[in-house]
Structure formats: structure tokens, C-alpha cells
Structure 1
Amino acid sequence: MTASGSNAIAVTKVLGGLARDERGRLLSILIGKFRDFQLAEDVLQDAMVSAVSHWGRNGLPKSPQAWLLKVAYRKAIDRIRRKQTVDRAETDLSMMMDEVSGLEENEDIPDERLRLIFTCCHPVLETKSRMALTLRTLGGLTTGEIARAFLDRETTMGQRLSRAKAKLGGAGISYEVPGPEQWAERLDAVLGVVYLIFTTGLSAPEDDQRGLAHEAIFLCNILNKLRPDDPEIEGCLALLTLNYARRAARFDGEGARVAFLDQDRALWQSSELQDGISLVETALARRKLGPYQIKAAIAACHCEGASPDWAQILLLYEELLVFEPTDVVRLNRAVALAEIGALHEALELIAVLEPDLSDYQPLYAAKAELLYRAGNLGKAHSVYAKAIALAQAKADRLFLEHRARRCVREQS
């Protein structure tokens, strides 16, 4: 391989890592400076394109992040200058240029992602737009990936993202972490976004190296440091940590999802499990119960003993219904009910939920499993087929196909 070819590979590798790991941090600085989401995305992309040729000729800079930020600044200023002719605007641009010139290649890049996530989660946006925009900016998902996460068309999601960016720009939203008086109303939305980023990353195929689950835990840790002793933040961090600790056991060699009870516990990260359990205990001791603490307690009950404590899990789902009286929580409660022996009662509850969850794949997966346990193999197989048809992820589809074949084998 030639030296130039080797250099090109190194550049591509570094840029790939930066796009995956540093995009959110760089975007947060650019958005904070120019208050324009689309401009920030465009100039960062332009800077990365410039890096391919520049670094290929001259080698990697001391700080690739600082180099990208400096070039993105210049490109943003050039774009603004072409649109503005007012003297005041030119003065502001000159000040910005002075700031760019002062950037050093070995300078530490500040981390302003927390400001960005609170901006993306501002109440002026509806919940779905907050989540989508945060996934786009902080998580680096493409519009198509976000659309699949929400079961939307890509064009529809693209329009949603464009409207969200325009709305934040037009509303003159402050780019800051809110003060104590605004914290309560904004925290639920932020935690919801962090959790969605986490679940998206945890469900990603093994060759997806974006590290979204790790990114969500990082963001939740920042929240926990910014607002220490908040039991819901601690509960959310505990929930993420407990689920992340089982990541190595979640898929088999074929890429199929492995049911919780079938997971190899030797693959679980014991230190992370203990950290999560400690966080749950700390949060619950504050006696300010909330939904994330309850969900974390449920996760702990799954992991702590040799087998899940289903009686306690059932009680916790009943408590969770006070905070989140949703059909999904009712479905999970029904599954817990089946696990303590009330199989037919659980199936009756699922039948009641089915009309409103007719497009919800986990309902059919749960129903099929309970029918299998009840000995109704033919019906279980047909319900598995419905679950397979609704499965979005390959891992889920493979898992369900294995379960469906089990019904066929035992019928013959």
C-alpha cells in the first residue's frame, strides 16, 4: 500500500470516529454560536468534506476537533456574509472572525451538549419533535433512522425536523440550561429523550458503532452531576445502567434477540449491575417516588436474585400505573401476572388491550408465548406469525421465528 493510500485510510477512520463520537459536541457549539440548527449541520458537514482533501495532503492536525470547528466557523461566517449587507451585521461578523482566528489547534473543545439537549426539549416543541431533533443533533441519527424509530415516512420526518428547527429559531429560544424555576417542566421531556436515545442504541445491530446507548448514559450522568440528589434522574440513570449491563447477553450468535430468562448471566457486567442497584436504592431512599425509579426497581428485581422476583414486579407495575396509566404498562403487568401463575387471567387482560394495541408487536409476542404455555400451540403459532409481520428489527424477527418453529415442532 502506498503512503498516500495509508494516509487516506487513516483520515477516513478518524473522520468516521469524529462523525460518530464528536458530532453532537461540535454541533452544540456551532448551534450555540449561530442559533441556527440547519446552518450548523451544513457547515459541519462542509468542514468534514474539506478535511478529506486537506488532511489527505497535509496529514492529521494536532486536534481534528478544533480544526473542524475552526473551518466550520469560517464557512458559517462566509454563508452569513453572503446574505447580510447591514453594517451592524458586518461588525458582528468581524468579531466572529477574530474569535475564529483565536482558536488554537490544541485547545480543549467545551462540552455544551447539555445546553443543546435542553434547547431541543423546549416546551415550544411537541414531544415527538423534541425527541426527533435530539436524536438528529445529539445522537447523529439520519432522518431515515429516526423515521424508522417512530414508524414514520422519511419525508414526513424530514418535514417534522425542518419545522422544529425553524420553530426554535423563530421563537428566540434561549440556548441555556434552565434555572430551578423551569427545571421540573423540562426534566421529564429531557429524560424521555435520553431514554429513547438509549433504547434506540441498545436495539441497534452489532455493526452499528454509533454508541447511542453509551451516549445516553453519558448525558444522564451529566444531568445527575448538574442536579445531584434528584431521585428521578438517579432512577433514569439506574434504569439505563441495569439494562446496559446485560448488553453482551441480549443477542445470540445469529443476531436473534435472547429472551431475558434465557440470557447467559455470566455475560452480564456485575459491577455495572451493582452500580445500577445502588442508584435505585439511593433514589428510593429519598421518598419522592416517580416513574423512572419504579422502572429501575423493576429492572433490579429482574436481575438481583437467581430469578426475577415476579411478585414484587407485579406490585411495582401496579404502582407505575398511578404515574403512567397506559396500555403498554397494563400489558407488562399482565405478563407479570402470568409469571406468578395467573395465566388465563393474563390472557383475558391481553384480549381487552388488543384492540387499542393492534399494531404493537410486543403484545402479540406476549400473547403467543402465553398461548404456548397454555398448550394452545396452533393458536400460538398464528399469533407468532402476526408478531413476526409487525417486527421492525431483524433481531426481534429472528427470535419470534425461532419461537414459532418451536410450536410447529411440538405439534408434530
Structure 2
Amino acid sequence: MGASARDTVEAVARGSYGKLVAYLASTTGDLAAAEDAMGDALVAALITWQRQGVPDRPESWLLTAARRNLIDAVRRTDVARRALPEMARAIEERSQLEASSALPDRRLHLMFACAHPAIDRSMHSPLMLQVVLGLDATRIAEAFLMPAATMSQRLVRVKAKIKQAGIPLVLPERHQLAVRLEAVLDAVYGAYGLVWDDGADGADRSDDRALRDEAIWLARLLVALLPEEPESNGLLALILGIEARRGARRDDNGRYVPLDEQDPARWSVDLILEAEDHLRTAKGLGRTGPFQLHAAIQSVHNQRAVTGRTHSAAVARLYDGLATLHPSIGVLVARAAAYRTASGATHALDLLDALPTDVVDGYQPYWAVRAHCLQSLGHADDARKAFDRAIALSRDPSVVAHLRRHRPPQ
């Protein structure tokens, strides 16, 4: 029973954490308190379910426990004690209204609330990744190339500000959604990007699968909520275009397979077609954005399934447009990689050399692309150093093995 209880707690945490926190936060208006209450409920579940067995409705059990934790927390706070009757009544009313129906899913509501203009713009996406998608500060910090301690401190300050300023944790009015959409799109893609390649160990772990599925589901929900927004369709087209190639990223022995070496027969035709539909919809809406350009790049790659070749010059030109709209370090390194294929290693190396060294020093893709460029130009010693740096920064053993196979011998 112990193992079963632990497995159930982990499964519910993976699948329902963001949903439950979003619901509690919308009820209480206190994001940090909702997270604390949910964390305590999960700990209680681990103890109680091992002793008494897993309840028939684990999610409802957790929600009830978290509600009690919230009320207890208010009761222990002298300043807030006078708010207890009102909070308890609100929670009880919600409970009665929804006892016979499925728990409403307010994850998307909370994501838009996290993009409130009073919150530091640079913290919109990190905040969503933690409170809605359940990622810890260390993993978020890695995605944003920031020390974990710094990210953790900033997240704590943002949550305190939300409470102090009384920022409503509900879905904004429709006219406010478009203004906040960019941050929500960035967070959804950021979540997918953390797990799109099966996690750091190359294994398709259940927690990564859950996060990936949730990101795809949120992207679909954004299109349903804002079908007239081209970037919503662009994000979904991008994610589906990448997801279509999941089955080809590893060979039968688990070895990493680069995109240009993948067998298109192993790509998902259904996902490619769906991605193309959303990309066409986005184009028809008349406003170009970065996610549409990202999706167009994936579309060009996926056309190899039909034509047998990749139009490398088209990929490079699309990256030029993307670098103008959204010159992130990831885009600029990917642009250099595209030009390595389209026009040669010299041009690509020039693009890499133009990037700020302090930003790229810890960025693995930069060193991988640089290593291949130097190797193509015959600079074996410099190539080995770049390969060694790329290997040191790689978290996936199959990628490490791939880089070692291509590293020039001594």
C-alpha cells in the first residue's frame, strides 16, 4: 500500500498541482498561501494514504485538505483573523456549488493574472512556470540562464507584491487578454521547451510527459480562448511541429539523432498536418509574430517528409526575420547554425563571434554549433576545446555521446 500511496500522490501532484493551486488562489487571492496549503496537503496525503489507503477521489481529498490548511493559516494570523469568517464562507460556498461537478480548471486564468502590468515584466513567465506548472526555482533559473538563488528571491518578492497590492487572481477582462498574451505564450513554450527532448537523462520520464502534455493542452486552450490571435495559433503550430518528430530523436538503441539525420518516416503525419493548419490560420490573420516564424521554420524542416530535402536558405531567412523580432540568445545561436548549413561555417562562425561572451559562456548550443564550425574549417585544436565545453554543459548522456563521437581525435 505504501508504494501505491506514494505513486498516487506523485501522479496527482504531476497532473493536478497547477489546477488545484489556481483554484485555491482564485478563491483566496493569496498565491503564496495557496502554494503552501497545497504543499502541506500533499505531505499529509503521503502520510494518511499510506496508513488508511488511497481515497476514491484523490484530487478532492487534496483540495479539502488544502482548504482546511488555508483556514488554519488565517486562524493563526492575528492580523487576518477577522477575515476568517468571510474566507471560510467563501470556501464553503464554492464547495457546495461545485461538490457535484468537476473541479473548474483555472490554470489559464491564473497565468493571465500572473502577467498583470503591476508585476515586473521579466518575472511574468517564471511566475507562471512555478505557480501553475509546478516547476521549482532551480529548473526555472536554468531556463532563464540565472542563478537559482536569484530566481528564488525574485519569485518570493513577486508573490509578496501580489498579496500586498491585492492583484486579482482571476481571468482579466477580454480587452486585457491581448496585452498579457505574450507572457503567457512564452511560459507555455518555456514549459514545453524544458521537456521537449525527453529530459536530461534521455528517458521519457512520467513527470516530463505530464509537463509536456500540460503545455500542449494549454496551447490548445489558448487557441480556443483567443482564436483570433495569430500568435496563439503560431505557438500551437510550433509545438505540434516539434512534437511530430518525437519518435525520431532517438534511434532504436537510444542514441541521439540530429534533425538533419532523422528518418522522416518516423515523424507523425497527423501532427504535422495539424501544425500546418494552425500555421495557415495564423498567416491568414494578418499579423506576423515570433511564434509564427518559429512555426514556419519547423514547417520547412517537416517538408522534408514530402520533398526529401530541407530548403536551408529558407530556414536561414526565417531566422533573419526572427532575429529582428525576437533577438534572444537561443534565436541568434540557432540562426548561426542555420547559416552553417545554408552558406558555410565561416559565415556561421562570424555570427557566433558577434555574440556577447558573458551571455554565451554557459549556453550549451553555442558551444556545440561553434565546435562543428571549427571542425568544418579544419581548426582541430579549437574544435576540441569547443566540443569539450559543449560536453561539459550537456545534461543528456545521449547528446554527450553524440558530441564525443564527432570530437576530433588528439
User: Which TM-score applies when normalising by structure 1?
Assistant: 0.88
- The 5 Å alignment of 1:328-367 reads 328-353=330-355, 355=357, 357-359=359-361, 360-367=363-370
Relative to structure 1, is the Cα distance of residues 274 and 332 closer, same or farther in structure 2, using a 3 angstrom cutoff?
same
- Cα deviation code 1:229-258 (max 9, x no counterpart): 311100011101111122232245676543
The answer on whether the counterparts of 1:73 and 1:100 sit within 8 Å (CA) in structure 2 is no
Question: 1:167 matched to which residue of 2?
Answer: 161
276-285 vs 253-262, greater mean Cα deviation: 253-262
Structure exhibiting the larger radius of gyration computed from Cα positions = 1
8 Å CA contact retained: 1:202, 1:212: no
- In structure 2, how many angstroms separate the alpha carbons of the residues matched to 1:143 and 1:128? 15
Q: Aligned in 2, Cα 1:187/1:94: closer, same or farther, shift over 3 Å?
A: closer
| C-alpha distance in 1 between matches for 2:250 and 2:120 | 34
CA separation in 1, counterparts of 2:303 and 2:48? Answer: 53
What SS does the aligned partner of 1:340 have? Answer: helix
Whether the 8 Å CA contact 2:71–2:84 is kept in 1: the answer is no
Q: Does residue 131 of structure 1 match 2:125?
A: yes
Aligned residue number for residue 230 of structure 1: 229
Letter in 2 for 1:371: L
SS state of the match for residue 219, structure 2? helix
- Which residue does the alignment assign to 1:4? none
What letter matches 1:147 in structure 2? Answer: A
The answer to whether the Cα contact below 8 Å between 1:74 and 1:97 also exists between their aligned partners in 2 is no
Residue 195 of structure 1 is matched in structure 2 by 189
CA distance in 2, matches of 1:86, 1:122: 25
> Does the alignment pair 1:385 with 2:382?
no
The answer as to 2:205 corresponding to 1:208 is yes
Q: Determine if the alignment matches structure 1 residue 369 to structure 2 residue 372.
A: yes
SS of the residue 1:118 aligns to: helix
Residue number in structure 2 paired with 1:99: 93
Q: 1:309 aligns with which of 301, 308, 311?
A: 311
CA contact (8 A) 1:74 1:100 kept: no
Q: Is the CA contact 2:129–2:140 (under 8 Å) kept in the aligned structure 1?
A: yes
Alignment of 1:134-283 (within 5 A): 134-203=128-197, 204-205=199-200, 206-210=203-207, 211-252=210-251, 257-283=256-282
Q: 1:77 to 1:289 in 2, by over 3 A?
A: same
Tell me the CA shift for residue 273 of structure 1: 1.5
Q: Which string of whole-angstrom CA distances, capped at 9 and with x for unpartnered residues, describes residues 344-384 of structure 1?
A: 23333322336465413322211221222233333322221
Match of 1:318 in 2: 320
Alignment CA distance shift 1:374-1:174 (3 Å)? same
More off after superposition, 113-122 vs 358-367 = 358-367
> Residues of 1 paired with 2:103 and 2:184: CA distance?
23
Quickly say closer, same or farther: Cα 1:142–1:253, change in 2 above 3 A: farther
Q: 1:287 to 1:182 in 2, by over 3 A?
A: same
Mapped to 1, the partners of 2:169 and 2:28 lie a distance apart of: 11
Q: What does 1:26-175 align with in structure 2 at a 5 Å threshold? A: 26-84=20-78, 88-96=82-90, 98-99=92-93, 102=96, 107-175=101-169
Deviations 1:147-172 (A, max 9, x none): 33334343332212211111111121
Opposite residue 166 of structure 2, the aligned amino acid is G
Shift in alpha-carbon separation, 1:380–1:67, aligned structure 2, 3 A: same
CA-based RMSD = 2.6
Q: Secondary structure at the match of 1:22?
A: helix
SS in structure 2 at match of 1:102? helix
Deviation, 1:52, is: 3.1
Alignment match, 1:284: 283
Q: Deviations over 1:245-298 (max 9, x none)?
A: 222322456765431112233332221111112211221122211111111000
Question: Partner amino acid for 1:218?
Answer: W
Aligned 8 A contact 1:224 1:234 in 2:
yes
SS at match of 1:10: helix
For residues 125 and 256 of structure 1, the distance between their equivalents in structure 2, rounded to whole angstroms, comes to 43
Secondary structure of residue in 1 paired with 2:76: helix
Gaps of 5+ in 2: none
Q: Structure 2 CA distance, aligned partners of 1:132 and 1:254?
A: 36
Paired with 2:205 and 2:133, the residues of 1 have a C-alpha distance of: 13
Q: Which moved more, 1:216-225 or 1:198-207?
A: 198-207
Q: Which amino acid aligns with 1:208?
A: R
Residues 392 and 130 of structure 1: is their aligned pair in 2 closer, same or farther, counting only changes over 3 Å?
farther
What is the CA distance between 1:129 and its match in structure 2? 2.1
Task: Report the CA distance between 1:57 and its aligned residue.
Answer: 4.3
8 Å Cα contact 1:354-1:363 kept in structure 2: no
Contact 2:241 2:271 survives alignment (8 Å)? yes
Greater CA deviation, 86-95 or 299-308? 86-95
Q: Secondary structure at the match of 2:206?
A: coil
Q: How many residues align?
A: 401
Q: CA deviation at 1:328?
A: 4.4
When residues 366 and 92 of structure 1 are mapped into structure 2, their CA distance, relative to the original with a 3 A threshold, is: same
Deviation of residue 102 (structure 1)? 3.1
Aligned-partner residue type, residue 335 of structure 2: R
The Cα shift of 1:223 comes to 0.9
Kindly indicate whether the alpha-carbon contact (under 8 Å) linking 2:364 and 2:390 is maintained by their aligned counterparts in 1.
Answer: yes
Letter in 1 for 2:371: A
Contact 1:66–1:104, Cα closer than 8 Å, also in 2: no
* Change in CA separation of 1:131 and 1:184 when aligned onto 2, cut-off 3 Å: same
Q: Distance in 1 between matches of 2:327 and 2:164?
A: 35
Q: 1 CA distance for matches of 2:100 and 2:402? A: 49
